[in-house]
Structure 1
């Protein structure tokens, strides 16, 4: 009897179709209509119909950094250089150090909070840009911003605060999961770009802190808030994202039990957070696996694809082509993508943010070729 299992060739063809749409539609969108040539910054979002930029209220450093990563990874050196120059010129705080969270529609500082999420993405994007371009200023920025994070954002237990005042004098946000995950991502990228062993040591300390303060032992999931916090959440998309990150350097994480924990978290998130019929990944669960927020955001779908691609077992390999096909059918369209959908498939957010291509790019890069 002929096997009905999908072949590796068919999986590659499905993945290639995603990458072709990205290269032919998404990248031109953000080089063109989505890019403010007066400020040399990406708009926050464009409309779904004609790719018109939404009225500008702010521009975020994190959004600029994500676009810097995307165009660096795509090999579009000239546009990446423009984005790097704009990041440094527009968002670097020359008085206090570090990076502004946002500027206003004219490019003047707006929210001067020192945000760990933003600083992590500066490190991440500059590592990718520096690795591909050899730009020494970018690699210096990786080291300088990482040192600032360790000195200014440090909290008890080898954790890092989520936000500080503009002058770093007061804590405005205590440790939470998401910026710590992206700091892990950033230091993995910095490690690859610089070959500096200091990032190995930093990652081991951070891994120990995550294991001690954020891993929900019954499920293995990395919780959104420190374990024991009231109304804590487990986000399936973040379990899949952590799973992929730990896979990139398992030797740095295994001593703290994160490798085993994330295997269990993957299974928990897949069982409770993925709709068996549509493949849609929900936004959040409670600690027992009940759905708290059923919204299906595109980034969580891309993280599921990336986790499946990196899992390695036969069940994940077999599930991957179907999941790619469901993702393409449910979340992509000729003009771009759908940012959020309801479980019934209705569009919950119609515009396309400048931050989403980063999720598409990282997922597509992990799929088979």
Structure 2
């Protein structure tokens, strides 16, 4: 029997989840919404309120409500108030990408990426029974359907101006990946299987068509006709949202999402083989690929390392994906990787002094900030503590709510 403190054990995961939630509470801004946390766990002093971060924290605290944390209800509601208040554009509809703390928008854009997280937050909050969440969910679904979803492809457009009058020609894989996550959660929250069908439509194109033809490397960037733009941002390879090449962590994240999709749509027989291929490709490309331990950030289209910084979210996704793959396949190799990578997380990423996880390391394992500064939020790391303890369903919220997961997930008394 595993020792209770062994990295990755159920007791360890529960304790780590509690530690991350305690750190996350620091992100609450007194005015409204949630801030980007610095390395010590204080909101950055730049006065910015990011919609996607506020939505991700609302999602996390909604999951905490479902876990039985009574205190988390107030935090989930604080996020809903921000998403229905200052972060929402009451004149034109939809959500600003970011505002200052006075509620003034900082960009003249409406982007798919933050909108997908508003949808995820609303779905998880609805599953948690939070007041106003169902209305927020209906509103988010409406905006995504009217403004972002292309009827002919089923994929999401990337970016409009504030008034929805000018559309950018760029199309992005990242926002569509998170749309899959959010649509599955919304399908669970509403009981509408058509939303899961829309998620499957996105995955079928980006994975079963595109990634299958690029040796299972995820394509991030496209033109307006959805033709891959393989050299996009070649001069700015370390961009935190639009890096050049293929992002290793997204191959891993997609592999897990396909397994959630399979729980909702078991008739789609391509999902499990594709998940295996994506995971295997990302592991070969990313783990120790430059002669140093850890998952690097990006590779080119031949699999050569490009940005070698180690980002915490990549390892967090790998931990969740190995647990999911082992649960579905029973293959012992996934469990061995799971054990190895949790030990690596404990030894390198988890910050026992200042809290949370270091969000970035350089190739030699030292804290860095080349791609991102601080410890923005706990979304990826917290989910990594949940997935190994949950049945594999379409969404984390529905998994927590399932009766056989409750006992192991209860917070400490």
Quick check: TM above 0.5?
Answer: yes
Shift of 1:180: 0.2
Shift of 1:279: 4.9
Shift of 1:73: 0.9
In the superposition, relative to structure 1, how do residues 317 and 177 fare at CA in structure 2: closer, same or farther (>3 Å)?
same
Equivalence for 1:41? 33
| 8 Å Cα contact 1:221/1:262 also seen in 2 | no
Residue range with higher mean Cα deviation, 270-279 or 118-127: 270-279
Structure 2: distance between partners of 1:311 and 1:154: 30
CA offsets per residue over residues 93-146 of structure 1, 9 Å max, x none? 1111111111113222222411101110000011101101253x3123223212
Shift of 1:10: 7.7
Shift of 1:196: 1.0
Structure 2: distance between partners of 1:116 and 1:253: 28
Shift of 1:342: 1.0
Work out whether 1:133 is the aligned partner of 2:129.
Answer: yes
Equivalence for 1:260? 273
Equivalence for 2:360? 340
In the superposition, relative to structure 1, how do residues 16 and 343 fare at CA in structure 2: closer, same or farther (>3 Å)?
farther
Shift of 1:57: 3.2
In the superposition, relative to structure 1, how do residues 279 and 310 fare at CA in structure 2: closer, same or farther (>3 Å)?
farther
After TM superposition, list the pairs within 5 Å mapping 1:307-322 onto structure 2.
Answer: 307-312=321-326, 313-322=331-340
Shift of 1:149: 1.1
| 8 Å Cα contact 2:7/2:346 also seen in 1 | no
Residue range with higher mean Cα deviation, 283-292 or 210-219: 210-219
After TM superposition, list the pairs within 5 Å mapping 1:213-292 onto structure 2.
Answer: 214-226=210-222, 228-231=228-231, 233-250=245-262, 252=265, 255=268, 257-275=270-288, 279-292=293-306
| 8 Å Cα contact 1:159/1:175 also seen in 2 | no
Equivalence for 2:106? 110
Structure 2: distance between partners of 1:279 and 1:18: 23
CA offsets per residue over residues 178-207 of structure 1, 9 Å max, x none? 000000000011111111122133223323
In the superposition, relative to structure 1, how do residues 112 and 241 fare at CA in structure 2: closer, same or farther (>3 Å)?
same
- The number of aligned residues is 357
- 1:56 pairs, out of 46, 50, 60, with 46
- 1:153 pairs, out of 148, 156, 175, with 148
In the superposition, relative to structure 1, how do residues 190 and 271 fare at CA in structure 2: closer, same or farther (>3 Å)?
same
Structure 2: distance between partners of 1:11 and 1:173: 49
Structure 2: distance between partners of 1:235 and 1:126: 27
Work out whether 1:329 is the aligned partner of 2:332.
Answer: no
Residue range with higher mean Cα deviation, 123-132 or 109-118: 109-118
Structure 1: distance between partners of 2:382 and 2:346: 14
RMSD over aligned Cα atoms: 2.5
Equivalence for 1:27? 21
Structure 2: distance between partners of 1:117 and 1:174: 13
Work out whether 1:209 is the aligned partner of 2:205.
Answer: yes
Judging by fraction of residues, say which structure has more strand: 1
Unaligned 5+ residue runs, structure 2? 66-71, 232-243, 390-407, 409-413
Moved over 4 A (4+): 6-13, 253-256, 276-279
- 1:144 pairs, out of 139, 142, 147, with 139
In the superposition, relative to structure 1, how do residues 367 and 256 fare at CA in structure 2: closer, same or farther (>3 Å)?
closer
Shift of 1:213: 5.9
CA offsets per residue over residues 128-168 of structure 1, 9 Å max, x none? 01101253x31232232122212211345322211111111
Equivalence for 2:385? 364
Shift of 1:22: 3.7
Shift of 1:174: 2.4
| 8 Å Cα contact 2:13/2:386 also seen in 1 | no
Equivalence for 2:58? 68
Equivalence for 1:3? none
Q: Secondary structure at the match of 1:90?
A: coil
Unaligned 5+ residue runs, structure 1? 1-5
